[in-house]
Amino acid sequence: MEGVDHLADERKKAEFNVEAMKIVWAGSQHNLEVSNRISKLVADDPAFRKDDRTMLPRKELFKNTLRKAAYAWKRINELRLSEEEASKLRFYVDETAYTDLHWGMFIPAIKGQGTDEQQRKWLPLAYKMQIIGCYAQTELGHGSNVQGLETTATFDPHTDEFVIHSPTLTSSKWWPGGLGKVSTHAVTYARLIIDGKDHGVHGFIVQLRSLEDHRPLPGITVGDIGMKFGNGAYNTMDNGVLRFDHVRIPRNQMLMKVSQVTREGKYKQSDVPRQLVYGTMVYVRQRIVADASCYLSRAVCIATRYSAVRRQFGSQNGGPETQVIDYKTQQSRLFPLLASAYAFRFVGEWLEWLYTDVMQRLQANDFSTLPEAHACTAGLKSLTTSVTADGIEECRKLCGGHGYLCTSGLPELFAVYVPACTYEGDNIVLLLQVARFLMKTVSQIGTGKQPVGTIAYMGRIEHLMQCRCNVQRGFAELSADLVEAAVAHCQLIVVSKFIEKLQQDIPGEGVKQQLEALCGIYYLSLLHKHQGDFLATSYLTPKQSALANDQLRALYSKVRPNAIALVDAFNYSDHFLSSILGRYDGNVYPKLYEAAWKDPLNESVVPDGYHEYVRPLLKQQLHTARL
């Protein structure tokens, strides 16, 4: 049956131009062309094989990751790939590695918080990977509470140096990716102490390892923090522990764009808000939102294709059984996730725009949109990662028993993704930041200030205008409800950005109609889920609510014939998906059968351990044997 497309009939049902939808998903014809070229480059190269990842012991797994990262770098240079192409290549290699932190946080931290001179010194080295860096903020004792970090950087005016020190066990840096075994340098966050005065947390570039023999420099204790959740998954990363024993660095290694320490030991603050020290986190949160749709769409692609292949019950007169995708229950779990994948794609595009806009304003000393940018990046990071992590798990269940096999690709996808709910800000902690922003907005409406941007709608809610609220009073007591309000606010942003996307000119036969159906599914399924809230607040009557549910079911039927084509539009290769259930050709059963025999346990018919542990049981003489 090799070469047969088992999903061909499904593909024929499509009522829209799939190639045009691929462009919408990719963002542009150019993006699609780059993605196609780079994804093929990776898929065709056996050096990027990853189907054995969940079976490798940690040391082998990690060495393999180092090999792949080095090989990827070699190819990037040989082929003279642009920055855009190189980052696409890392994306399609699809293996979490120290390079993510080097390119994703170390370099952005220097760019965002270093002076021009510091950038001129450090960035060329980092771009050529002559130094490798990580982002060392979190400690054993504190992650969320950044102001609670304990590592100190004490200025020594005699030598013009900072002394970096870990005064307690809980001040040990703990978690930074790339730190454990690879990084030569770290942007390290520490409390700046001058003349006994604590000036709060600042970033410093600290060299950790020798560039000659990779051994830790004097005063540095560093290692890996151990195995993490799942096989393969995030264990390709060397999340690390780090302690400093009075390590000295030159004064000019404090990142000094936001605040400076002079030769005389004077602390000076630029005219920019001190929150810019948190700028790298804002950047990465924005990137995480842009990435969420990739992870969710990947799981949805697997579950949708498999749901069309899988048949269970309903045979009539000896005919084929029903494809499980035709069950309304399956559709009501799967299609809202398909719609969410598209919704997150568009909100991710918008957030990228917002971030660029804020950065341009900051250049011109306009800091007015920073609080909104913080609330949007924090809130959307929280919403999209939570829905994506839960969505991957739901897709596993949608694939029944076979979804639990590593060869379905879903267990590893979940294990590698789920920490996104925690890293770069615990999702609840981030929603509390959004809630605080919303409460602040309400208190300002009371004083007559008109809200703009993503909170403009609050100015149109009559009863909010009468509200007089103090941000702190009752906040902690009501925080669980406020978190729900923050989620609703973020969902509103996603819905409105989806609707704005539909107002654009979208070429391709039937493409816009499909997106309209998905947008409807997105907001109607949310309305259905939160029906109780809408009814309790009289925003909906029971009749409207029932009509909304009817409409939702009608949209499921509309999307059903297009489902396979809608996931084909993600344009994922079989190599990237790495899932037998999600194969493009739907040839699931023979491949599952074949893969089972490749498991190391099947290398011998009689397993290791039989003679020691099984045979004695079978041969034992028990009293009960006589019974």
Ligand X SMILES: CCCCC/C=C\C/C=C\C/C=C\C/C=C\CCCC(=O)SCCNC(=O)CCNC(=O)[C@H](O)C(C)(C)COP(=O)(O)OP(=O)(O)OC[C@H]1O[C@@H](n2cnc3c(N)ncnc32)[C@H](O)[C@@H]1OP(=O)(O)O
Ligand Y SMILES: Cc1cc2nc3c(=O)[nH]c(=O)nc-3n(C[C@H](O)[C@H](O)[C@H](O)COP(=O)(O)OP(=O)(O)OC[C@H]3O[C@@H](n4cnc5c(N)ncnc54)[C@H](O)[C@@H]3O)c2cc1C
Q: Which stretch binds ligand X (CB under 6 A): 260-268, 317-325, 428-436, 517-525?
A: 428-436
Among 76, 104, 240, 300, binds ligand X (CB under 6 A): 104
**What number of residues does the chain have?**
627
Q: What are phi and psi of 139, to 5 degrees?
A: -120, 170
For residue 428, the partner it binds in ligand X, ligand Y, none, with Cβ less than 5 to 8 A by kind, is ligand Y
Nearest 5°: the CA angle 126, 127, 128 is: 90
- Shortest spacing between CB 423 and ligand Y, in angstroms: 4
From 133, 177, 178, 230, residue interacting with ligand X (rule: CB under 6 A) = 177
Q: How far is the CB of 368 from ligand X (least distance, A)?
A: 12
Contacts 24+ apart (CB under 8 A), 554-557: 555/335, 555/517, 555/520, 555/521, 555/524, 556/328, 556/331, 556/332, 556/335, 556/521
CB of 26 to ligand Y, least distance (A): 28
Euclidean distance between CA atoms 418 and 440, whole angstroms: 31
291 binds ligand X (CB under 6 A): yes
Asked if residue 416 binds ligand X (CB under 6 A), the reply is: yes
Torsion over CA: 343, 347, 352, 353 (sign) = positive
- CA separation for the pair 627, 620 (Å, rounded): 14
Stretch that binds ligand X, among 138-146, 316-324, 508-516, 592-600 (CB under 6 A): 138-146
Residue 470 interacts with ligand X (CB under 6 A)?
Answer: no
Cα separation, 530 vs 422, in Å, equals 25
Residue 356 found at the interface with ligand X (CB under 6 A) = no
Residue 460's identity, in one-letter code, is: R
3-state secondary structure of 160: coil
Which DSSP string do the residues of 166-212 spell out, in sequence order? --SGGGSEE--TTTTTT-SEEEEEEEEEETTEEEEEEEEEEE-B-TT
Q: C-beta of 348: minimal distance to ligand Y in Å? A: 21
Query: Which residue, chain included where needed, has tokens 């054993």?
Result: 140
Q: How far apart are the first and last CA of the chain?
A: 53
Output the smallest distance, CB 273 to ligand X, in A.
Answer: 7
CB of 432 to ligand X, least distance (A): 7
485 makes contact, choosing from ligand X, ligand Y, none, with CB < 5 to 8 Å by partner type, with: none
| 455 contributes a contact to ligand X by CB under 6 A | no
CB 94 within 8 A of CB 53: no
Which among ligand X, ligand Y, none contacts residue 112 (Cβ within 5 to 8 A by kind)?
none
238 binds ligand X (CB under 6 A): no
The partner in contact with residue 577, picked from ligand X, ligand Y, none with C-beta cut-offs of 5 to 8 angstroms by kind, is: none
Residue 106 binding ligand X, by CB under 6 A: no
Whole-number Å distance between alpha carbons of 96 and 234 = 6
The reply on whether position 425 binds ligand X by CB under 6 A is: yes
Smallest separation (angstroms) from ligand Y to the CB of 376 = 19
- Residue 278 binding result from ligand X, ligand Y, none, given CB thresholds of 5 to 8 Å by partner type: ligand X
Does the CA dihedral 381-386-389-395 come out positive or negative?
Answer: negative
Round to whole Å and give the CA distance between 579 and 301. Answer: 10
Q: How far is the CB of 146 from ligand X (least distance, A)?
A: 3
Do the beta carbons of residue 174 and residue 216 sit within 8 Å? no
Q: Is residue 275 a contact point for ligand X (CB under 6 A)?
A: yes
Q: Which range in 145-153, 359-367, 592-600, 609-617 contacts ligand X by CB under 6 A?
A: 145-153
374 binds, among ligand Y, ligand X, none (CB under 5 to 8 A by kind): ligand X
Q: How far is the CB of 303 from ligand X (least distance, A)?
A: 19
Q: State the maximum Cα–Cα separation within the chain, in Å, rounded to a whole number.
A: 92
Would you call 155 helix, strand, or coil by DSSP? strand
Decide if residue 429 touches ligand X (CB under 6 A).
Answer: yes
Q: If binding is defined by CB under 6 A, does position 281 make contact with ligand X?
A: yes
173 or 501, CB closer to ligand Y?
A: 173
Site for ligand X in 67-96 (CB under 6 A): 96
Question: How many Cα atoms within 13 Å fall on the side-chain side of residue 308?
Answer: 27
C-beta neighbour count of 510 within 10 angstroms: 16
Q: Which is nearer to ligand Y, 358 or 483 (CB)?
A: 483
CB-wise, 71 or 423, nearer to ligand Y? 423
Per the CB < 8 A criterion, the answer to whether 163 and 183 are in contact is no
588 touches 579 (CB < 8 A): no
Buried b (16+ CB within 10 A) or exposed e, 244-260: beebebebbbbbbbbbe
d(CA 233, CA 230) in angstroms, rounded, equals 6
**560: partner contacted, choices ligand X, ligand Y, none (Cβ within 5-8 A by kind):** none
| Cβ-based nearer residue to ligand X, 122 or 437 | 437
Instruction: Report if residue 388 touches ligand X, rule: CB under 6 A.
Output: no
* Per CB under 6 A, 423 contacts ligand X: yes
Q: Is 203 in the site for ligand X (CB under 6 A)?
A: no
SS3 at position 218: coil
Phi, psi of 264 (to 5 degrees): -80, -5
Which of the choices ligand Y, ligand X, none does residue 164 contact, using the CB cut-off of 5 to 8 A by kind? none
Q: Which residue in 139, 161, 394, 424 is the catalytic one?
A: 424
**Partner from ligand X, ligand Y, none contacting 417, C-beta within 5 to 8 A by type:** ligand X
* Residue 13 three-state SS: coil
Q: Say if residue 428 is exposed, middle or buried (CB neighbours under 10 Å; 0-12, 13-18, 19+).
A: middle
Give the total of residues touching ligand X (CB under 6 A). 35
Query: What is the residue type of 454?
Result: T
**10 classed as catalytic:** no
Scanning 62-70, 257-265, 276-284, 327-335 for contacts with ligand X by CB under 6 A, the matching segment is: 276-284
Q: Which of 76, 258, 284, 494 binds ligand X (CB under 6 A)?
A: 284
Nearest residue (beta carbon) to ligand Y: 143
H or E stretch at 543: helix 542-559
Name the minimum Å distance from CB 62 to ligand Y. Answer: 15
By CB under 6 A, is residue 101 in contact with ligand X? Answer: yes
Q: Which of 10, 95, 100, 372 binds ligand X (CB under 6 A)?
A: 100
Residues forming the site for ligand Y (CB under 6 A): 101, 135-138, 142-144, 175-177, 234, 239, 419, 422-426, 428-429, 432
CB of 427 to ligand X, least distance (A): 10
Contact between 146 and ligand X per CB under 6 A: yes
Residues in Cβ contact with 246 at an 8 Å cutoff, skipping those fewer than 6 apart: 163, 164, 165, 219
| Separation between Cα atoms, residue 121 and residue 521, nearest integer Å | 51
- Interface residues with ligand X (CB under 6 A) are 96, 100-101, 104-105, 135, 137-138, 143-147, 177, 275, 278, 281-282, 284, 287-288, 291, 370-371, 374, 416-417, 420, 423-425, 429, 433, 436, 440
- What are the catalytic residues? 424
